Structure 1
Amino acid sequence: MITDPLFYAAAIPAILIVGISKGGFGGGLGMLAVPLMSLVISPAQAAAIMLPILCLMDLVGLWSFRGKGFSPLLKTLIPAALIGIIIGALTFRYLSDQHLKFIVGAIAVLFTLNYWLRPGSKEPKQPSIPRGGFWGLITGFTSFSVHAGGPPLNIYLLPLRLEKGLYIGTTIIMFAAINYMKLIPYSMLGQFDTANLSTSAVLALLAPVGVRLGYWMHHRISEAWFYRICFVLLFATGSKLLFDAFTG
């Protein structure tokens, strides 16, 4: 098991923030954990440690938002995500730590800039099978590599202007399906060694706490302020990873 205090200084707040985001704010910051943990360990190891924890969070989230989710969207997104996962598994061995740091950092920075700079509200778009299939595939690939499927999924979902509860329920079901599908290739690639699984087991104690706290905050805390703070942190960690990728 990892014993470095610096790792837990990064991992504990990351898991709580991800749990809160999944439990009450649509899970858009699920990608925050790997960038934070990658400041101390390799992105590949961070992703392996996070996957069992994400699966546990998904179970709590599915229970909290049971009965919600837009099935016509999911019928397009989930099969496309499976193709993306397969592509991610086949290309995993060709990506070094520097490649992964660049991918994680670029997604974090670009997603944050899009959040800050995107134009105001527009008319809702209608669901599209071609667009849903494309962004579902990208979601599966980026989710497999570094659990960063939130940005591409939001690029497709946010313009649809779904009702808040329906949007959160759809994202929870989507990522629950993706995360449980990822368990098989992660196992085949040897990602679940004793050190990673034992570290996951310790950190997993925080998973239901974070998700239930997010569910409680869903109706009590300003979503705007939560995201303002977290996106500043996400931009900072993404920038640091990009710096490491280019100077390593």
Structure 2
Amino acid sequence: MHWTIFASPTELAVTALAVVLVGLSKGGLGGMSLLGVPLMALVMPPVTAAAILLPVLVVMDVVSVASWRAWVDWQIIRRIMPGAVAGIGIGWASAELVSDSAVRLVVGLVSLAFVARALVGAGQGAALAGARPAAARFWGGLAGYTSFVAHAGAPPLQIYMMPLRLDPKLFTGTTVMFFAVTNALKLVPYAALGEFGSDNLARAAAMLPLAIGATWLGGWVVRHMRASIFYPFTYASVALVGVKLVWDGLAGL
């Protein structure tokens, strides 16, 4: 890989760091995938960052699905995918109308509200509520929308799934499968919007070896992590990302 594919060595370094964080998260390690676009947006336009990351995400999904395909709750997938497809469609239709800053602010506030709810114990006894079809459609739709506009669908999905208190492996496998499907669906509208130029695809290709290694490493860590560590770690990572997104959203308005 040569840095001249990128605008500067700094852009290369920031992109590589973002890909590592997203890869670790894709492997199942917390919510760090939300940091990808905001981090890259420090050195390039957010739309460019999202376009570079999407092909990388799809390759990561292949690695993740290969590792986690035996740990998927297909009932959850069936409940949330209709809403997610609708959310992707809304994101596509409104792509020119909603600013990146507004999306970051909304996702950040949702993330922090989710963590605050967990800290005060409001999530106790919510397992049955989490399984309701209406909740699945709403949070699936929000996950699909925020995933389309900022690759930031993890907090809405986690709001729906974490009260179910799944085994960490089942939680990770179901999450991996959800985003594998949604990212594949997003390829069509991103291509239709003209975001896959040769420059963006070249930069994405340069990141693939790093992406595959980071995804594998994240999966290895999760397989050796106890539930008593997994859930607090996930909440903490979502909280940190939420603060970052709110900060960026307010700064950009």
Match of 2:32 in 1: 29
Match of 1:77 in 2: 80
Q: Does the alignment pair 1:190 with 2:197? A: no
- Check whether the contact 1:19–1:207 (CA below 8 A) recurs between aligned residues: yes
- Greater alpha carbon shift after TM alignment, 99-108 vs 225-234: 225-234
Question: Pick from 145, 170, 173: which aligns with 1:169?
Answer: 173
Query: What is the SS of the residue equivalent to 2:7?
Result: coil
Matches within 5 A, 1:194-233: 194-220=198-224, 223=230, 227=234, 230=237
- Check whether the contact 1:69–1:166 (CA below 8 A) recurs between aligned residues: yes
Matches within 5 A, 1:1-248: 1-25=5-29, 28-95=31-98, 99-108=99-108, 110-112=110-112, 114-115=114-115, 118=118, 119-120=120-121, 122-123=124-125, 124-126=127-129, 127-220=131-224, 223=230, 227=234, 230=237, 234-235=241-242, 237-246=244-253
- What amino acid is the match of 2:179? F
Where does the alignment leave 5 or more consecutive residues of structure 1 unmatched? none
Does the C-alpha gap of structure 1 residues 235 and 83 become closer, same or farther in structure 2, counting only changes over 3 Å?
A: closer
Does the C-alpha gap of structure 1 residues 200 and 228 become closer, same or farther in structure 2, counting only changes over 3 Å?
A: same
What is the TM-score when the length of structure 1 is the normalising length? 0.88
Query: What is the SS of the residue equivalent to 1:93?
Result: coil
Deviation (angstroms), 1:87: 0.9
Superposed CA deviations along residues 21-40 of structure 1, whole A, max 9, x for unmatched, are: 22133x63322101111111
Distance 2:158 2:216 in 1: 23
- Please report the RMSD computed on the Cα atoms of aligned residues, expressed in angstroms: 2.3
Where does the alignment leave 5 or more consecutive residues of structure 2 unmatched? none
Aligned-residue identity in percent: 33
Superposed CA deviations along residues 131-166 of structure 1, whole A, max 9, x for unmatched, are: 101111111111110111101111111111111111
Distance 1:8 1:197 in 2: 14
Does the C-alpha gap of structure 1 residues 87 and 45 become closer, same or farther in structure 2, counting only changes over 3 Å?
A: same
What is the TM-score when the length of structure 2 is the normalising length? 0.86
